[in-house]
Each structure stands twice: as C-alpha cells, then as structure tokens.
Amino acid sequence: MTTLILPYPPSANRYWRIYRGRAVPSAEAALYKRLVWAVARSGGISDPTTAPVALALILRPVEPKDWHKRQKADPNGYTVRCIDLDNCQKVALDALQGIAYANDKKVMCIRIERGVPVNDGALEISWTAMEGNL
C-alpha cells in the first residue's frame, strides 16, 4: 500500500472551466496537479502503476480558528465547512492520473470518508495494486 498526504483539493466547481464548449482543467487544477506530483516525487513515487488499483481517501477539512471550542460540541467536525466528497473524489482521481496510476480506468474500488479537521486541510490517499483477474 502506498499513502500520500496531499494538500486540501480545490472544489470540482473551480477545477474545470468551459472553453469553446469543452471542459478543460483550470489554472488552479494545473497548480494542484503540480503540487500532487511534487508530493509524490518527494514520497518516492516515480512511475505510475499499470495494474488495477483500490483507492482509499480521507478528506480532512481546514481546521477553523475556533476549533477547540467547537470540538467540545462536535468532536468529529461535522459542522466544519468542507467540499463535497464526490467533488473531492473527481479532483483526486484526475490529479493522480499519470502519478499513482497510468489511467483512472484502472481504479476498480474507491473508499472515501471525511476525517477530522487539520490545520490547513489535507487529503490522505492510499492505493493498493489489486491482484488476480478483474
């Protein structure tokens, strides 16, 4: 299993732009992909796998300034502002393509959850190459 802690992802609403009738990645998307690439390289990931993979994602929202007060009433952080999990998934799959796996068509299983808030927010991603015939 390989795990990376990535920066908090942009919303899918800001990740894509319409240009001449086509959806294209925004400048923010290009920046996020470069950040993901840099984190992967510093984590020792040099080549994407061509095997089918299973992904596990934990989205950790940005910790608000009054988190210590909120934590008493809401220890799991459910009231903290956070992007939708499905938006996070789309952004993460696109950002990891060519880094963790050659093509997102190789993603066979996805588990995603919302974690407790952390200082600047984060996206924890783990993937495992799947064995056997699929």
**Residue 116 belongs to domain with CATH number:** 3.30.1330.70
Domain-embedded: residue 20: yes
Listed in sequence order, the residues at least 6 apart from 99 whose beta carbon sits closer than 8 Å to its beta carbon are: 36, 37, 40, 45, 48
pLDDT value, residue 6? 93
Number of domains in the chain: 1
* pLDDT of residue 69 exceeding 90: no
Domain-embedded: residue 134: no
Secondary structure element (H or E) that encloses residue 18, with its range: strand 16-19
Distance between CA atoms of residues 91 and 39, nearest Å: 16
Q: What is the pLDDT of residues 78-91, one digit of tens each?
A: 667 778 888 888 88
pTM: 0.81
Identify the weakest region by mean pLDDT among 29-38, 67-76, 92-101, 122-131: 67-76
pLDDT value, residue 90? 86
* pLDDT of residue 109 exceeding 80: yes
Distance between CA atoms of residues 1 and 64, nearest Å: 31
* pLDDT of residue 73 exceeding 90: no
Provide the domain limits for residue 59. 2-129
Secondary structure element (H or E) that encloses residue 3, with its range: strand 2-7
Domain-embedded: residue 106: yes
Identify the weakest region by mean pLDDT among 29-33, 73-77, 118-122: 73-77
Q: What is the mean pLDDT of the chain?
A: 85
pLDDT value, residue 46? 82
Domain-embedded: residue 12: yes
Domain-embedded: residue 120: yes
Domain-embedded: residue 77: yes
Domain-embedded: residue 56: yes
